[in-house]
Each structure stands twice: as C-alpha cells, then as structure tokens.
Amino acid sequence: MTQEQGVQMTAVEINGVDKVFETRTGQVQALDSIDLTVAAGEFVSLIGPSGCGKSTLMRLVADLDEPTGGTISVFGKTPRTARLDQEYGIAFQQAGLLPWRTVAGNVALPLELHGVASAARSARVTELLDMVGLSDFADRYPDQLSGGMQQRVAIARALAEQPRLLLMDEPFGALDEMTREKMQTELVRISAETGAAVVFVTHSIPEAVFLSDRVVVMSPRPGRIQQIVPMRLGVDAQRAARTEELREERGFFEMVTAVREALHGGSPIATGARGVENR
Ligand SMILES: Nc1ncnc2c1ncn2[C@@H]1O[C@H](COP(=O)(O)OP(=O)(O)OP(=O)(O)O)[C@@H](O)[C@H]1O
Ligand SMILES: [Mg+2]
C-alpha cells in the first residue's frame, strides 16, 4: 500500500451500529444507530457523558466486541481482519501493559510480533521512550511506575509501528496537567507527521478542541451522535501548526464554547452560527 493510496481511503466507517448488552437485570442499550466516517489522516474525538457508550464504540472498532446491529469497516476491512493485519495502535483507559516485561519490552512487543529486526527494534524503542520522556525507565517493570508513566508506555507502544490509525480511549486521563498538554502537542505532531487517523475519547473539552478536526458529541445512554462539531481554528491551525499559543487564542475559546453548548444540548441558533452540523 503506497501512502497516496492510503490517503484517499476511509479509515473507519461505522454504519447504523447498535449495541445491546444482555445483563442479569435485563438489556442495556449502549449504542443506538451510530453512523460515523473517519477519513484517512483525520483526527476525530468522541466526547459525552459517562456511560454514553464511547468505550463500547471503540471496543467495537478494535474488534474487542461485536455490534448487535450495523456494520463497521476499518480501511475497508472487517474489524477482525484489520486487527490481525495490525492496522491500528491502541491506547485505552487501562494501560494494559504486560507486567512480566520491562518498559522497553512492552514498547517493543508490536515490533517483535511484526518481525522487526533486533537492531532496528531497539533503535525505535529508544526513540519512542525518549518521546514520552521515559528513557531512564527502559529497564523498569510496570508495577514500578506511576499510573501516568504506565499510560505513557502504552502510548509509546501504540505508536511503535506508526500505524495509520490510532484508537485512543482517554489515554491522557491519568496524567498531570503539564504532562497532559505536552502529550497532546506530541500527539498532534505525530499524527500530522505520520498522517495517521486518530479516534480519540476524552472528557476534556479543551483537549478535544486542541487535537481534533471534528468533535463528535454523544448523548447520554443509549449513546447517539448528538452533533458533530468541525473545529474551525483559523487559517494557521492546520493540525501540524497547532502549538501552545493556540490554547490562548480567541478561535480556540470559541470552539470550546461550541462544543460545550453541543454537550449541554445547546440551541441550534447559538451553535449554528459557527457552522455546527446538527444531527
Ligand atoms: N460488558 C458489558 N456488559 C453490560 N453492560 C455494559 C458492558 N460494557 C458496557 N456496558 C454498559 O454500556 C454503557 C456504556 O458503557 P461505556 O463503557 O461504553 O461508557 P463510556 O461512554 O465509555 O463511559 P466513561 O466515560 O465512564 O468511560 C454503560 O451503561 C455500561 O454500563
Ligand atoms: Mg469509557
């Protein structure tokens, strides 16, 4: 697959997806008629109240569970084939590290699975650990790290193979504010450089605005897409150009307001002026 072909493709296509969980006390409808297309290279965030089905949707895309109805494709493949082909990297709410492997060993895992030669592998691991600020911890084990550090190992692991899709479920939730902003800037840079599409779950409105091309606002359970808010951050705010200064610009605050209003079920009049797509 050449990069040109990759760019034209759709990364994720979700059509009419429902998810109902059978529980001892009855059925729980977690997702209701979800339609969403994420273009190759696009950064899309999902935001919505706790329990609205964000993680469920991510798990369906990642083939960790199956929809009750509707279809999902990842680069034109079923989620299962995409998973087996290692089309995406994952960083979820729980870091999910292997406790018997060192930090370096965890980051190297996807490279090992893909048969990357030893020298290239250790060079890449060094580069990744440097990027997430864990160079001094390569030989430690996960239980010797703080939650935020474990999460950074998981992010390094997700990026190891420069996947063209990253699925990230609150990956920065356990980080302190300084590290979190640093990781956001890094993620923007990485996704712009590698052209990776990202589907990103967060509870933070400023985080969603800073990172995204579009923010998908979900309603309380059963999760539906309430609005999709395109981030219009001004001429200089191509993703690659998003830097710390952006956080203090007026356009940034306007987008924060637009997403907040959408989350609170803001009136179409208030948000429509900013070009919000109503659903
Ligand atoms: N395996 C399961 N069995 C039964 N119900 C489930 C299961 N997984 C999730 N649910 C239910 O589905 C709904 C959506 O859960 P989900 O974890 O997707 O929410 P979320 O939007 O990620 O929430 P949060 O923001 O708190 O992470 C919730 O009501 C939850 O209780
Ligand atoms: Mg969740």
Q: Which domains does the chain have, with CATH numbers?
A: 1-87+165-279 (3.40.50.300), 98-162 (no CATH)
- What is the position in ligand 1's atom list of the atom closest to the CA of 56? 18
- The whole-number pLDDT of residue 93 equals 74
Closest residue CA from atom 2 of ligand 1: 21
Token match 């009419």: residue?
16
The closest ligand to the CA of 57 turns out to be 1
- What is the position in ligand 1's atom list of the atom closest to the CA of 22? 4
Residue 38 confidence (pLDDT) above 80: yes
Provide the mean pLDDT of the chain.
87
- pLDDT grade for 62, boundaries at 50, 70 and 90: very high
Ligand 1 centre to CA of 15 (Å) is 20
The closest ligand to the CA of 51 turns out to be 1
**Residue among 63, 234, 54 at smallest CA distance from 165:** 63
- pLDDT grade for 75, boundaries at 50, 70 and 90: very high
- Quote the percentage of the chain above a pLDDT of 70: 90
- The whole-number pLDDT of residue 234 equals 66
- The whole-number pLDDT of residue 92 equals 85
Which residues are within 5 Å of ligand 2 (an ion), measured at CB?
Answer: 55
- pLDDT grade for 243, boundaries at 50, 70 and 90: confident
**Residue among 266, 276, 218, 264 at smallest CA distance from 50:** 218
Report the residue among 27, 29, 32, 52 best suited for mutation to probe ligand 1: largest number of ligand atoms under 8 A from its CB: 52
Q: Where are the beta strands (DSSP E) in the chain?
A: 10-23, 26-39, 43-47, 69-74, 88-91, 165-169, 197-201, 214-218, 225-230, 277-278
- pLDDT grade for 201, boundaries at 50, 70 and 90: very high
User: pLDDT of 2-24, one tens digit each?
Assistant: 444 444 589 999 999 999 999 99
Pocket of ligand 1 (CB under 6 A): 21, 23, 28, 30, 50-56, 221
Residues 247 and 231: their CA atoms lie apart, in Å, by: 13
pLDDT mean over 191-212:
92
